[in-house]
């Protein structure tokens, strides 16, 4: 998606510091952190919201959760919150699926 901020980040058109990348997802810091550690786990595939998930996308979302767990281990986070906002009324501002990983215990 040409206008999507997260697609632009993944294409390298907006600068960030990637903590992790693979063929399916990337992890980078939230620009307005709401916890000491606040990362975004973002799939390469542009899916606007969880409400738009299609058959097969569960593999991607499962992978995002696994990568969240792996980066939390790597950063020695003792506990953390994973959050997905769905839809405008659900607090979603960027319409490219992502998981927030937030922790004050790292």
Catalytic residues: 98
Q: Map the footprint of ligand AMP across residues 50-89, applying CB under 6 A.
A: 85
29, β-bridge pairs? 39
- The smaller minimum CB distance to Zn ion, of residues 46 and 69, is found at 46
Distances (CA, A) of 29 to 34, 36, 79, 89: 11, 11, 17, 24
Q: How many residues bind Zn ion (CB under 5 A)?
A: 6
Gap between the Cα atoms of 92 and 101, Å rounded: 15
Stretch that binds ligand AMP, among 30-38, 43-51, 61-69, 73-81 (CB under 6 A): 30-38
Sequence-distant (≥ 6) Cβ neighbours of residue 44 within 8 angstroms: 10, 23, 24, 25, 26
CA-angle at 69, arms to 40 and 15, nearest 5°: 25
Determine, following the binding rule CB under 6 A, whether residue 93 of this chain makes contact with ligand AMP: yes
In the complex, minimum distance from the CB of residue 32 to Zn ion, in angstroms, rounded to a whole number: 18
Q: For binding to Zn ion (CB under 5 A), which residues are involved?
A: 1, 4, 6-7, 46, 96
Q: For binding to ligand AMP (CB under 6 A), which residues are involved?
A: 5, 14, 16, 30-32, 40, 85, 91-94
């Amino acid at each position: 998606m040409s206008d999507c901020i997260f697609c632009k980040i993944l294409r390298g058109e907006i600068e960030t510091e990637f903590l992790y990348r693979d063929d399916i997802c990337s992890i980078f810091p939230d620009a307005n952190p709401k916890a000491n550690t606040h990362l975004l786990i973002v799939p390469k595939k542009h899916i606007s919201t969880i409400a738009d998930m299609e058959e097969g996308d569960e593999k991607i979302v499962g992978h995002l959760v696994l990568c969240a767990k792996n980066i939390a281990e790597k950063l020695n986070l003792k506990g953390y919150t994973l959050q997905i906002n769905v839809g405008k009324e659900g607090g979603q501002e960027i319409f490219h699926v992502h998981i927030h990983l937030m922790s004050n215990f790292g």
